[in-house]
Amino acid sequence: MTDQLEMDLREAMQARAAQVPADAAERLTRHDYHPRTRRLRPPVAIGAVATGAAAGAAAVVISLGAGASNAFAGWSPTPTPPAPGQLAGAQTSCEQSQSPIAGLSLQLSDTRGPFTFSIYANSTESATCIKGPSFTAVSGNMSSYPVNVPAGHILMDSSHATDRTGGTYSLAEGRTGADVTGVTLTLDDGSTVQATVGNGWFVAWWPGLHVVKSAELATSSGTTTQTFDNPPVPPGRAGSRGGMSSSSSMGSSGGGGTGTGTGTGFSFQGSSNSQ
Amino acid sequence: MDKHRADFDRFVADSTDPLLRTAYLIVWDLGEAEDLVQETLLQVARRWPRVRRMEHPIAYARRMLVNRALGGASRRSRRRQELSNGAPPERPTDRSDPQAFDAHDELMGALAMLPPRQRAVLVLRYFLDLPEAEVAAAMKCSLGTVKSTASRGLARLEQVMRPTNETRSIPT
- Chain A interface, mutation test: which of B7, B8, B21, B114, most A Cβ atoms within 10 Å? B21
Helix or strand or coil: residue A243?
Answer: coil
Nearest CA in chain B to A18: B21
As a whole-number percent, the residues of chain B with pLDDT over 90 amount to 37
Angle between helices B143-169 and B98-112 (to 10 degrees): 140
Residues of B in contact with A266 (CB under 8 A): 42, 45-46
As a whole-number percent, the residues of chain A with pLDDT over 90 amount to 25
Q: Which pLDDT value is given to residue B123?
A: 96
Asked if pLDDT for residue B3 goes beyond 90, the answer is no
Q: What is the pTM of this model?
A: 0.49
Least confident of A54-68, A104-118, A139-153, B137-151: A54-68
Q: Shortest CA distance to B24 belongs to which of A8, A25, A231? A: A25
Cβ atoms A218, A180 nearer than 8 A: yes
Contacts of A40 by beta carbon, 8 Å cutoff, 6+ apart: A49, A53, A54, A250, A258, A259, A260, A261
CB contact under 8 A, A33 and B31: no
CA A38 to chain B, closest CA, distance in angstroms equals: 14
| Mean per-residue pLDDT, A235-241 | 48
| Mean per-residue pLDDT, A149-154 | 86
CA–CA gap between residue B67 and residue A220 (Å, rounded)? 51
CA–CA gap between residue A38 and residue A43 (Å, rounded)? 15
| Mean per-residue pLDDT, A124-129 | 77
Q: Which pLDDT value is given to residue A40?
A: 33
Least confident of A183-187, A248-252, B110-114: A248-252
Q: Count CB atoms within 10 A of the CB of residue B84.
A: 12
Q: Which pLDDT value is given to residue B161?
A: 74
Instruction: Give the residue, A148 or A201, on which the prediction is more confident.
Output: A201
CA–CA gap between residue B69 and residue B24 (Å, rounded)? 10
